[in-house]
Amino acid sequence: MKMKGSFLFLRANSTHRQKKGFSLVECVLALALFSFAAFAIGQICYNCLYPLDMQDKDGISDATIERAVSAILDVDDYDALDDGIEVDSLDGSTCRVYGECFPTQIIDLFELKIRIESESQDDIEDAVLVIRPKWYENSNDRETLLDDRTDFLEDERLRKAKEIREAEDDEYGSWELSLPKK
């Protein structure tokens, strides 16, 4: 009879399991609350810093620069930039935009210096980086630059490999096989 009582005791305890962790619903709810709190804190920080950043900016000149860059990017031939392009600004006046482009070491990437002349505003100068594969003076310039960069990178790889090989030789000794003399 003693055995029967202990069986009932085990069975009664098995129906009331102890909770050892969080349920899936609790985890999902906690994750949702955390993500909402993180988003709210980020939005509060952005809303506090945005007006401080906007104090330093002049809206009309920034919009004029954006329109000038957009007009320049529509130009396929960079020689037209020497003569200037007419762009309408937001204040109703017409600006003349001049640009000079300088190739960089990266293929198809140019540094574009923009000068905007306007009667209603002061002259504005700015520099931007643009990707324009058609802006080379002739078609051979791009191929020459591509060959030069390929040669430079190949030389760099060989130089690095040689440095690594020399460092390994200094650390471990030469790896050459010495054959026994007959």
Whole-structure pTM value: 0.48
Domain boundaries defined on the chain: 59-135, 136-171
Residues 16-74: tens digit of each pLDDT: 567 788 899 999 999 999 999 999 999 999 999 998 887 777 777 778 888 888 888 88
Read off the pLDDT of residues 145-176 as tens digits, 9 standing for 90 and up: 788 888 888 999 999 999 988 888 777 665 55
**DSSP string of 71-128, one letter each residue:** HHHT-S-TTHHHH-EEEE-TTS-EEEEEEEEEE-SSTTEEEEEEEEE-SSS--EEEEE
Please state the length of the chain. Answer: 182
pLDDT computed for residue 98 by the predictor: 87
From 6-15, 62-71, 121-130, 164-173, the region with the lowest mean pLDDT:
6-15
Sign of the Cα torsion 122, 128, 132, 136 reads positive
